Amino acid sequence: MFDTVNHDNMFDDILKRFGLNVAEYQTSPFGSGLINHTYKVTGNNEAYILQQINTAVFTHPENIADNLAAVKRYLGKNNPDYLFVAPLQTTDGELIVKSSDGAFYRLFPFIEGSHTVNFLQDKNEAFEAAVQFGRFTLLLNHFDIKQLKYTLSDFHNLQLRFDQFKTASQNADAAKLAQAGAEIKEVYNHFDILQTYNQAVNNNEIPLRAVHHDTKINNVLFDDNHKALCLVDLDTVMPGYYLSDVGDMMRTYLSPANEEEKDLNKIHIREDFFRAIYKGYMAEMGDILTETEKQLFIFSGKLMIYMQGLRFLTDFLNNDVYYGAQYPGHNLTRAKNQFKLLTEYVNAEPVFKNMIGSVNREILAAANQK
């Protein structure tokens, strides 16, 4: 059970800005997010989510507010029934409050009857999540993405991540390079992933879309019947490639072991989860994806797994300055984990292709029956 936070020390002024009588509310830590600090505010027969933006990561929080306001206006006009969990306005009409100590906060409505899932065990939940992420991008298909600002520049730029890895390799000490020898070799064994990415991006073979960029399962709210209600943690909504959203689902949904698992034997591919992701996402996006985008569906998983392996390995070589480390070699273990996942994913590619063919035939047969 979380302890209640003392308003007098922390949140009185912030809640007052949103028109709340602080004497009627209690605030407790909420959720398991790693980037922003999140609290649940309850009282007066209602509830809210109060979140402090991590300005070490999001250096321009006003860009987040502007993006969400623009998306809210568009969806409110064109899809008013869509549940878009946008921040609430203060009594002055602001979406972000700056506290006396320089921290930035925003307040969201709490969605009653909802819960998050931290460990994905049910392929139907994978399907539901894929539908939600696909629907989000579908509904914004005609939205002018030039209105969106980049809240994290080059977030999923694989060429940048590879260049950062090369720099880290050049500067790392000999002992670290020796420890990471096998993983460094894996980077170059899968160099074709970078080549495919650069060809698609540099030749403008795939379009920029409004995508979520962080599709881990706990960014989806579910009801008690395991049906997905909506998406949350929208700070990374910005222009990007649909590969980011699908690939991150592949990276985080397919294996029962997450990126912290030390026993690499526990890392394997749940092929039925791939089918669920494909079927759910394509149910929403199948009619608007270009042929090139469709051809890169399986590639998206390789892209995001490879990128995360690169990032963990780079941080190990850089002495854990980005992710930090809970024990010696933590980021090297994470990198080993991701490269094992990548190997398992590549080995399953023929199965994935057969599954895509099977689902496509099902869709065609259903369409012909109408």
Strands 97-98 and 104-109: antiparallel
Instruction: State percent of the chain over pLDDT 70.
Output: 96
* Residues 18-43 pLDDT 10s: 999 999 999 988 865 545 688 999 99
Structure tokens at 167: 């720099």
Structure tokens at 152: 């994290």
pLDDT of res. 366: 79
* Residues 91-122 pLDDT 10s: 999 999 998 888 999 999 999 999 999 999 99
pLDDT of res. 36: 65
Distance CA 351, CA 360 (A): 14
Tell me the sheet residues that pair with 230. 221
pLDDT of res. 94: 94
pLDDT of res. 9: 55
Q: What are φ and ψ of residue 327, in 5° steps?
A: -160, 160
Interval 171-191 mean pLDDT: 98
Which residue carries 């994913």 as its tokens?
345
pLDDT tier at 7, thresholds 50, 70, 90: very low
pLDDT of res. 297: 98
Query: Which of the given ranges, 9-23, 93-107, 306-320, has the highest pLDDT on average?
Result: 306-320
pLDDT of res. 106: 94
**Where are any strands of DSSP class E within 213-309?**
220-222, 228-231, 238-240
Interval 173-183 mean pLDDT: 97
Long-range contacts made by residues 328-337, C-beta under 8 angstroms, separation at least 24?
329/179, 332/179, 332/180, 332/183, 333/262, 334/259, 334/260, 335/180, 335/183, 335/309, 336/182, 336/183, 336/264, 337/257, 337/259, 337/260, 337/261, 337/262, 337/264, 337/267, 337/312
Apex 234 CA angle, 229 and 237, nearest 5: 120
Query: Rounded mean pLDDT of the chain?
Result: 93
Kind and range of the H or E element at 19? none
Q: What are φ and ψ of residue 140, in 5° steps?
A: -100, 15
3-state secondary structure of 185: helix
Residue 140: pLDDT over 90 = yes
Q: pLDDT higher for 4 or 49?
A: 49
Kind and range of the H or E element at 335? helix 330-347
Residue 1: pLDDT over 50 = no
pLDDT of res. 228: 97
For 295-333, the DSSP string reads HTHHHHHHHHHHHHHHHHHHHHHTTSSSS--SSTTHHHH
pLDDT of res. 8: 45
pLDDT of res. 4: 46
- The DSSP 8-state label assigned to residue 1 in this structure reads -
pLDDT of res. 33: 52
Distance CA 132, CA 36 (A): 22
Distance CA 268, CA 274 (A): 12
Interval 172-198 mean pLDDT: 98
* Residues 204-255 pLDDT 10s: 999 999 999 999 999 999 999 999 999 999 999 999 999 999 999 999 999 9
Q: Which amino acid is at 303?
A: L
pLDDT of res. 35: 57
* Entry pTM: 0.92
Q: What are φ and ψ of residue 272, in 5° steps?
A: -65, -25
